[in-house]
């Protein structure tokens, strides 16, 4: 049952990827709502999968790194739907869907991950994880819009104005999404880091892990992007590159946890 | 037999000084239409008048004569200066095809331009108001709108703009998103620059004009609803503008990297879109490498226009298939309006109902003897015949009249007779196919080869 649902979800994500990408490159206008419909179906299957994973009704399955990845992937999909509804940027699904698929598949490797030990029942831990997942979701949107910005700017500078250029949103809109997402994600990340450290200290651990270091780097990058945007008027390409870099570091944090969990170390 | 006719001229056959003599102002359309219809004795008439074409669509029971009269009416308006060789004409199904192509913007000067569909719709509304649209033109135009919509949705014929001004606007939108409240700076007084500035002004940007000659700047600003600014304020204006259109006659670069470096710094990296329409160029190409500054020169824009035109030409081939498809479906409807198949279908429908009811009733009447049964069957047949007698007589009498098609259409709709039942192959053996029956025109069954 669970395995079947996992495969169905992954397959739907994959089909949505293909449909979105073909819409971006070839502009198949015959069924403009098709990719979105499939993506929503994928989210539906994903939700069912999460409900199966859920330890008790109404509780988020956030027990180990695999489940965190899965929930993040789902959150990115939902956040994208909200953003595309508000800003009319459905075509960004061409980048969101692959990202969702990758995170979801990564969560499937979870059988080899051990649950985060020690499983201390702590409100602080839950808050820490929830804040970081939400931050990750916001940064993922920022990453996607940054990626689209770089692509769109490249097309504009190379005068390749047919095809994808026509279908991608304007540079202004992409930059705005990037800025807003980082502004939402940054306080969440900050809270996540502070609460994480707090929990670590209280639960008696005092070791400094690679993940913490990577998290700090990511935090510094996002702080830098925000400061430069506000103080020096950074816009466009540089801001997009900074944002993407920050997101990659937050992914590395997760990868660090995963490696550590797989290695069995605490 | 009633058929379609079109007579007209377009950018393909006549220069503007001839076309403008035939053009009819929108407010005069209804009155002119009534006059023409009455004068040329047309049963239905519709006049499309745009800057690129004037066409009179009509139906008549005598298409040959109607073509001649319509042509004479238009030729008279043209006067002596132009012979009637600028007028073209089509008859039969070629008219339908022509209209579908016109509405889908396949016959336009700029293939795929979006205005024509609206203009055809306005012409249709005016003719409806004037009361000169009947079943045939009505159906034909409704389907033309549907065809145009299909072409628009299923092909990329309208994708990408093809004039320098609109390309500039499109690009600006792709950079800034919303143009409302942005500022355009027009530098110099070149004609192309002015037209680009006008287009941008229409999208809701503010317009500032700088020119060496302040009088010229003032005049230009007034004509484009903008503001003239003294030349000394160039740097400040560059800092505040979002789009700059450079079209001065200066032999040297005006926007140099040195100047722009300071400007970009003061702008705090806000994006700047510079359109260099001047020849020789006003903007040093190195400016285009700066962060958040996008420079397009006249060659770039021209190239975009050509690429978009090439895309449209490719897509036009697809569009022609859609048009043929729709012409075919129109023919199917047209065939259904013939008398013979309608009568056959009507009889069949009534006969079916009677038979079905008999089949249901007989098993319940088991005591019935063979002769009783025969009486019952004869009664149901005669019931059908009696009920059909009056409608049949009316149909046969009315089909030849001017609004015969309307009558047949009404019958088909009242009794839900589908168009497929009217295929000629199914009806050819029926005894009622007499001389009075409305037939397809020669044009409807194949190419006429005589319409030009």
Which has more pLDDT, B48 or A263?
Answer: B48
Does residue B159 lie in a domain region? Answer: no
- Nearest Cα residue to B230 out of B211, B258, B205: B211
Distance CA A225, CA A138 (A): 15
CB contact under 8 A, B294 and A156: yes
A160 inside 8 A of chain B by CB: no
Cβ-proximal residues to B302 (8 Å cutoff; 6+ apart), any chain: B164
Q: What is the pLDDT of residue B139?
A: 92
Does residue B237 lie in a domain region? Answer: yes
CB contact under 8 A, B270 and A29: no
Q: What is the pLDDT of residue B445?
A: 37
Do B27 and B49 lie in one domain? The reply is yes
Do B146 and B211 lie in one domain? The reply is no
Q: What is the pLDDT of residue B440?
A: 36
Does residue B127 lie in a domain region? Answer: yes
Residue B313 near residue B350, CB atoms below 8 Å: no
Q: What is the ipTM of this complex?
A: 0.86
Please tell me which of the candidates B267, B270, B311 has its beta carbon nearest to residue A162. B311
Which has more pLDDT, B225 or A258?
Answer: B225
Would you state the structure tokens that stand for residue B165, as one six-digit string? 């001004």
CB contact under 8 A, A162 and B159: yes
Do B178 and B269 lie in one domain? The reply is yes
Find out whether the peptide bond into A111 is cis, omega within 30 degrees of 0: no
Cβ-proximal residues to B369 (8 Å cutoff; 6+ apart), any chain: none
Q: Strand, coil or helix: what is B51?
A: coil
- Nearest Cα residue to B272 out of A74, A24, A235: A235
Do B267 and B184 lie in one domain? The reply is yes
Please tell me which of the candidates B174, B268, B291 has its beta carbon nearest to residue A171. B174
| Residue B228 C-alpha, separation from nearest chain A C-alpha, in angstroms | 28
CB contact under 8 A, A233 and B268: yes
CA B281, B283, B284, B286 torsion-angle sign: negative
Q: How confident is the model at residue A205 (pLDDT cuts 50, 70, 90)?
A: low
Would you state the torsion angle of the CA atoms of residues B439, B442, B445, B447, taken in this order, to the nearest 10 degrees? -160
DSSP state letter for B206: E
Q: What is the pLDDT of residue B298?
A: 86
In B55-84, the residues whose Cβ lies within 8 Å of chain A are none
CA count, 13 A, side-chain hemisphere, A146: 25
Does residue B301 lie in a domain region? Answer: no
Q: What is the pLDDT of residue B208?
A: 94
Would you state the structure tokens that stand for residue B73, as one six-digit string? 């009416």
Which chain B residues have a beta carbon less than 8 Å from that of A173?
177
pLDDT at residue A74 greater than cutoff 90: yes
A197 inside 8 A of chain B by CB: no
Please tell me which of the candidates A30, A166, A172 has its beta carbon nearest to residue B176. A172
Number of domains comprising chain B? 3
Residue B246 near residue B187, CB atoms below 8 Å: yes
Does residue B306 lie in a domain region? Answer: no
| Residue B154 C-alpha, separation from nearest chain A C-alpha, in angstroms | 6
Residue B22 near residue B9, CB atoms below 8 Å: yes
Tokens 């129109």, residue located: B330
CA count, 13 A, side-chain hemisphere, A211: 20
Residue B384 near residue B415, CB atoms below 8 Å: no
Which chain B residues have a beta carbon less than 8 Å from that of A32?
none
pLDDT at residue A195 greater than cutoff 90: no
B287, burial (CB in 10 Å: exposed 0-12, middle 13-18, buried 19+): buried
Q: Which residue of chain B has the CA closest to A231?
A: B268
Do B14 and B144 lie in one domain? The reply is yes
Would you state the structure tokens that stand for residue A141, as one six-digit string? 């949107």
- Domain C-terminal end among B262, B291, B320: B291
- CA–CA–CA angle B110, B114, B120 (5° rounding): 100
Please tell me which of the candidates A30, A171, A173 has its beta carbon nearest to residue B271. A171
How many Cβ atoms from other residues are within 10 Å of residue B357's Cβ? 12
Do B32 and B129 lie in one domain? The reply is yes
Does residue B276 lie in a domain region? Answer: yes
Does residue B352 lie in a domain region? Answer: yes
- Domain C-terminal end among B269, B303, B332: B332
Size of interface A-B (CB pairs under 8 A): 66
CB contact under 8 A, B269 and A234: yes
Please tell me which of the candidates B173, B300, B307 has its beta carbon nearest to residue A162. B307
Does residue B200 lie in a domain region? Answer: yes
Distance CA B241, CA B270 (A): 10
Beta strand B183-187 with B243-246 is parallel
Residue A182 near residue A142, CB atoms below 8 Å: yes
The overall longest dimension of chain A from CA atoms, in Å, is 60
Do B326 and B343 lie in one domain? The reply is no
In B236-295, the residues whose Cβ lies within 8 Å of chain A are 267-271, 288, 291-292, 294
Q: Which of B169, B271, B275, B292 to mutate to test the interface with A (most CBs of A within 10 A)?
A: B292
Do B326 and B351 lie in one domain? The reply is no
Question: CA-CA distances (angstroms) from residue A81 to A10, A22, A40?
Answer: 18, 19, 8
A207, burial (CB in 10 Å: exposed 0-12, middle 13-18, buried 19+): exposed
The overall longest dimension of chain B from CA atoms, in Å, is 113
Q: Strand, coil or helix: what is B88?
A: strand
Would you state the structure tokens that stand for residue B325, as one six-digit string? 């498809």
Prediction pTM value: 0.67
Q: What is the rounded average pLDDT for all residues in chain A?
A: 85
Beta strand B206-210 with B183-187 is parallel
Question: CA-CA distances (angstroms) from residue A196 to A128, A192, A250, B236?
Answer: 5, 6, 14, 50
Do B61 and B142 lie in one domain? The reply is yes
Do B73 and B146 lie in one domain? The reply is yes
CATH of the domain at B87: 3.30.460.30
Q: What is the pLDDT of residue A198?
A: 78
Residue A129 near residue A123, CB atoms below 8 Å: no
DSSP output for B222-265: HHTT-EEE-GGGHHHHHHH-SEEEE----SS-SB-HHHHHHHHH
- Nearest Cα residue to B99 out of B129, B136, B71, B69: B136
| Residue B387 C-alpha, separation from nearest chain A C-alpha, in angstroms | 48
DSSP state letter for B187: E
Cβ-proximal residues to B414 (8 Å cutoff; 6+ apart), any chain: none
Q: What is the pLDDT of residue A18?
A: 92
In B162-181, the residues whose Cβ lies within 8 Å of chain A are 171, 173-178
Do B319 and B344 lie in one domain? The reply is no
Domain that holds residue B130: 3-154+311-332
Answer yes or no: B140 catalytic.
Answer: no
Distance CA B158, CA B111 (A): 8
Distance CA A85, CA A134 (A): 19
Tokens 């009783």, residue located: B372
Distance CA A18, CA A8 (A): 15
Residue A172 near residue B175, CB atoms below 8 Å: yes
Strand partners, A254: none
Q: Strand, coil or helix: what is A122?
A: coil
A125, burial (CB in 10 Å: exposed 0-12, middle 13-18, buried 19+): buried
In A50-109, the residues whose Cβ lies within 8 Å of chain B are none
Tell me the average confidence (pLDDT) per consecutive run of 10 residues in chain B, 452 residues long.
87 86 86 86 89 91 88 82 79 93 91 89 92 90 95 84 83 91 89 85 91 88 89 93 92 93 89 90 92 91 85 89 93 78 86 90 84 89 91 79 72 77 42 37 36 34
Question: CA-CA distances (angstroms) from residue A156 to A87, A149, B9, B288, B344?
Answer: 21, 10, 41, 11, 64
| Residue A110 C-alpha, separation from nearest chain B C-alpha, in angstroms | 42
Would you state the structure tokens that stand for residue A138, as one six-digit string? 């916001």
| Residue A127 C-alpha, separation from nearest chain B C-alpha, in angstroms | 38
| Residue B85 C-alpha, separation from nearest chain A C-alpha, in angstroms | 41
Do B53 and B172 lie in one domain? The reply is no
DSSP output for A170-206: PHHHHHHHHHHHHHHHHHHHHHHHHHHHHHHHHTT--
């Amino acid at each position: 049952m669970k395995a079947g649902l996992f495969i169905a979800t992954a397959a739907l994500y994959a089909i949505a990827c293909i449909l979105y990408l073909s819409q971006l490159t070839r502009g198949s206008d015959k069924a403009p709502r098709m990719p979105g419909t499939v993506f929503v179906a994928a989210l539906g299957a994903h939700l069912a999968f999460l409900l199966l994973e859920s330890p008790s009704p109404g509780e988020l399955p956030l027990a180990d790194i695999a489940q965190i990845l899965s929930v993040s992937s789902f959150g990115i999909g939902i956040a994208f739907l909200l953003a595309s509804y508000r800003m009319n940027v459905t075509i960004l699904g061409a980048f969101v869907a692959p990202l969702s698929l990758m995170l979801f598949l990564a969560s499937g490797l979870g059988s080899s991950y051990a649950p985060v030990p020690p499983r201390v029942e702590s409100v602080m831990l839950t808050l820490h994880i929830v804040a970081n997942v939400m931050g990750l979701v916001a940064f993922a949107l920022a990453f996607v819009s940054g990626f689209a910005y770089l692509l769109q700017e490249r097309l504009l500078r190379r005068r390749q104005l047919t095809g994808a250029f026509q279908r991608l949103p304007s540079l202004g809109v992409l930059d705005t999404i990037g800025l807003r997402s980082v502004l939402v994600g940054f306080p969440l990340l900050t809270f996540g880091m502070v609460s994480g450290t707090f929990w670590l200290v209280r639960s008696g651990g005092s070791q400094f892990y690679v993940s913490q270091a990577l998290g700090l780097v990511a935090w510094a990058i996002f702080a830098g992007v925000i400061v430069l945007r506000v103080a020096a008027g950074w816009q466009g390409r540089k801001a997009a590159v900074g944002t993407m870099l920050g997101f990659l570091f937050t992914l590395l944090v997760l990868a660090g946890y995963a490696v550590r969990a797989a290695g069995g170390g605490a | 037999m009633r058929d379609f006719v079109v007579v007209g001229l377009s950018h393909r056959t006549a220069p503007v000084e001839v076309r403008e003599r035939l053009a009819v102002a929108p407010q005069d359309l209804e009155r002119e239409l009534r006059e023409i219809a009455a004068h040329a004795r047309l049963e239905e008439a519709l006049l499309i008048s745009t800057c690129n074409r004037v066409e009179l669509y009509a139906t008549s029971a005598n298409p040959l004569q109607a073509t001649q009269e319509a042509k004479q009416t238009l030729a008279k308006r043209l006067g002596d200066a132009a012979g009637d060789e600028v007028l073209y004409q089509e008859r039969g199904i070629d008219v339908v095809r022509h209209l579908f192509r016109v509405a889908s913007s396949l016959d336009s000067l700029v293939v795929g331009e979006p205005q024509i569909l609206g203009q055809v719709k306005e012409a249709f509304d005016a003719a409806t108001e004037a009361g000169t649209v009947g079943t045939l033109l009505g159906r034909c135009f409704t389907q033309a709108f549907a065809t145009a919509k299909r072409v628009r949705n299923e092909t990329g014929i309208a994708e990408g703009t093809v004039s320098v001004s609109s390309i500039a606007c499109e690009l600006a939108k792709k950079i800034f998103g919303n143009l409302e409240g942005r500022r355009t700076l027009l530098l110099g007084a070149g004609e192309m620059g002015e037209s680009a500035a006008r287009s941008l002004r229409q999208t809701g940007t503010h317009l500032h004009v700088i020119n060496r000659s302040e009088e010229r700047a003032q005049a230009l600003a007034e004509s484009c609803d903008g503001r003239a600014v003294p030349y000394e304020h160039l740097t400040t204006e560059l800092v505040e503008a979002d789009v700059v259109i450079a079209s001065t006659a200066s032999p040297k670069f005006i926007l140099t990297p040195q100047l722009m470096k300071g400007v970009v710094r003061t702008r705090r990296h806000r994006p700047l879109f510079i359109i260099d329409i001047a020849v020789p160029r006003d903007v040093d190409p190195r400016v285009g490498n700066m962060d958040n500054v996008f420079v397009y020169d006249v060659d770039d824009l021209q190239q975009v226009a050509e690429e978009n035109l090439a895309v449209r030409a490719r897509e036009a081939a697809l569009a022609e298939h859609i048009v043929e498809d729709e012409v075919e479906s129109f023919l199917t409807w047209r065939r259904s309006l013939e008398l013979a198949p309608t009568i056959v279908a009507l009889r069949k429908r009534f006969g079916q109902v009677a038979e079905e009811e008999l089949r249901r009733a007989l098993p319940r009447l088991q005591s019935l003897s063979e002769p009783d049964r025969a009486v019952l069957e004869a009664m149901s047949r005669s019931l059908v015949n009696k009920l059909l007698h009056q409608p049949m007589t009316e149909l046969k009498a009315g089909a030849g009249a001017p609004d015969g098609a309307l009558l047949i259409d009404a019958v088909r709709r009242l009794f839900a007779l589908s168009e497929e039942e009217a295929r000629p192959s199914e009806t050819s053996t029926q005894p009622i196919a007499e001389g009075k029956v409305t037939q397809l025109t020669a044009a409807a069954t194949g190419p006429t080869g005589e319409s030009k």
